[in-house]
Amino acid sequence: MSSELNILALYGLFTALILILKVSGATGQLGMGYLLSSRDEGRTLTGITGRLDRALTNSITAMALFAPAILILHAKGAFSGESLTAAQVFLVVRVLYVPAYGFGITGIRTALWLAGFAATVLLHLMALMAP
| Nearer CB in complex with another protein: 13/107 | 13
- Mapping DSSP to helix (H, G, I), strand (E, B) and coil, where does residue 98 land? helix
| Residue from 30, 45, 48, 67 in contact with another protein (CB under 8 A) | 67
- What does the alpha-carbon distance between residue 22 and residue 122 come to, in Å, rounded to a whole number? 30
Q: How far is the CB of 2 from another protein (least distance, A)?
A: 7
From 14-22, 84-92, 95-103, 120-128, span contacting another protein (CB under 8 A) = 14-22
Q: Does 12 bind another protein (CB under 8 A)?
A: yes
Spatial neighbors of 10 by CB under 8 A, at least 6 apart, are: 91
**DSSP H stretches of helix in 31-107:** 32-36, 47-76, 81-102
- What does the alpha-carbon distance between residue 119 and residue 121 come to, in Å, rounded to a whole number? 6
Q: Does 29 bind another protein (CB under 8 A)?
A: no
Buried b (16+ CB within 10 A) or exposed e, 10-30: ebeebbeebeebbeebbeebb
Q: Does 15 bind another protein (CB under 8 A)?
A: yes
| Residue from 24, 37, 80, 110 in contact with another protein (CB under 8 A) | 37
| Residue from 44, 64, 81, 129 in contact with another protein (CB under 8 A) | 64
Residues lying near another protein in the complex (CB under 8 A) are found at 1-2, 5-6, 8-13, 15-16, 19, 35-40, 60, 63-64, 67, 70-71, 74
